[in-house]
Structure 1
């Protein structure tokens, strides 16, 4: 089952962006996701499968969620 990720969520990833940051904002959802690095504001397109493997935690409107808590 896919994770329930919403636009505006802040995602912490296991692997950092080349700028050194590992926090991203979700801008677009679907089969491919568009995420934006919080530090350098670079936008990245990534497939759902790759993104779900790399997620460490998700912050939704100030609430911290772990991937196992948000499975559909």
Structure 2
């Protein structure tokens, strides 16, 4: 895995495609076999298989507060 593709729970990530509401910043709210992310614009959440999420994520914008 590439170094910039390392993500943890509650990280803010940028996706390759923007959400229909206009933003492409998402917060990771659940991790497992699937990853649930919540749009930082309209607060809509979606569940994506981990493999697909790794492909669709561009970069980590902000690491989670420890």
In the superposition, the TM-score normalised over structure 2's length comes to 0.82
Q: 1:20 aligns with which of 2, 19, 22?
A: 22
Question: Whose relative contact order is higher, 1 or 2, with alpha carbons under 8 Å and at least 6 apart?
Answer: 2
1:60 corresponds in structure 2 to 63
1:30 is aligned to 32
Mark the runs of 5 or more structure 1 residues left unpaired by the alignment: 63-72
RMSD: 1.9
Q: TM-score, normalised by structure 1?
A: 0.75
Structure 2: 5+ residue runs without aligned partners? none
